Structures are given as structure tokens and as C-alpha cells.
């Protein structure tokens, strides 16, 4: 990949990581702020489902943070933008739309078709 493009994605991913990390921090402080006593069971139920919702978001954020970190690792070790399935270059357009992707569109399409066929 062109070093200029690589630099572009490195900066993009770093920004994304910072965003995600600061969002994750906000979710945590949001959760601790809610640590109040609600004597009403209905309120407590609402609080619980809010908490579950937060945890689900946290889980998603956590996974995404990991993906972004892995993409940055790939930039570091020179495998960024190379499909992990077939070893071909992933198109710049695809990477711009989804910088954390590890597969070219052909392999991804095949995989999705396969998963669909299996009913995953």
C-alpha cells in the first residue's frame, strides 16, 4: 500500500480509537452516577434494564476498540489492507468505508453467503 494511504488510515484509526476510548469513559461515569437508592421496585427494574443496555453498549464498544487496535497493529507490522483469507489487497474504497476490515469484498461476500447457507 502507498505509504501516504497507510498514513491516512493510521491517523483515521488513531482518531477512531480516541473517540471510542472517551465514549467508553463516559459510559462508565454514566453508570456510576446512577448508583442511587430507588426504593420503588419499578424504578429499580428500569435502572437494571438501563444498566444491561449500558453493558451491551460497553461490550460492543470494547469489541470495536479491539478491532481498531488490531488494525493499528496490522499497520505496524505491514499487513494492513491485505486480505487475511486470500492475501490480495483490499480496495482503498472498502478500507475507507470500513478501516477495521480484514477481508477483501470477495472473501467477505463468500463468507456471508456461507454463513447464510448454514443459518448462522
> Residue 86: how many CA atoms within 13 Å on its side-chain side?
12
Task: List the interface residues with Zn ion, window 51-110 (CB under 5 A).
Answer: 83, 85-86, 104, 107
User: Which CB, 20 or 102, lies closer to Zn ion?
Assistant: 102
The least CB distance from residue 105 to Zn ion, in Å, is 8
Size of the site for Zn ion (CB under 5 A): 5
In the complex, least distance from residue 106 CB atom to Zn ion, rounded to whole angstroms: 5
Instruction: CB nearer to Zn ion: give 68 or 83.
Output: 83
User: Do 107 and 83 meet the contact criterion of CB atoms below 8 Å apart?
Assistant: yes
Q: Sign of torsion, CA 110 114 116 120?
A: negative
Closer Cβ to Zn ion, 24 or 105, answer by number = 105
The packing angle between helices 41-77 and 3-33, to 10°, is 160
For residue 105, the Cα-to-chain-centroid distance in whole angstroms is 18
Q: Which residues bind Zn ion (CB under 5 A)?
A: 83, 85-86, 104, 107
Amino acid at each position: 500500500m502507498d505509504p501516504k494511504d497507510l498514513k491516512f488510515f493510521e491517523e483515521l484509526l488513531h482518531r477512531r480509537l480516541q473517540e471510542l476510548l472517551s465514549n467508553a469513559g463516559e459510559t462508565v461515569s454514566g453508570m456510576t452516577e446512577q448508583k442511587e437508592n430507588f426504593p420503588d421496585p419499578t424504578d429499580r427494574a428500569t435502572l437494571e434494564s438501563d444498566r444491561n443496555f449500558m453493558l451491551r453498549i460497553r461490550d460492543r464498544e470494547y469489541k470495536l476498540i479491539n478491532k481498531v487496535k488490531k488494525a493499528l497493529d496490522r499497520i505496524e507490522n505491514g499487513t494492513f489492507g491485505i486480505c487475511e483469507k486470500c492475501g490480495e489487497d483490499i480496495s482503498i474504497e472498502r478500507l475507507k468505508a470500513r478501516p477495521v476490515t480484514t477481508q477483501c469484498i470477495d472473501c467477505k461476500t463468500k463468507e456471508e453467503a456461507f454463513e447464510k447457507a448454514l443459518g448462522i
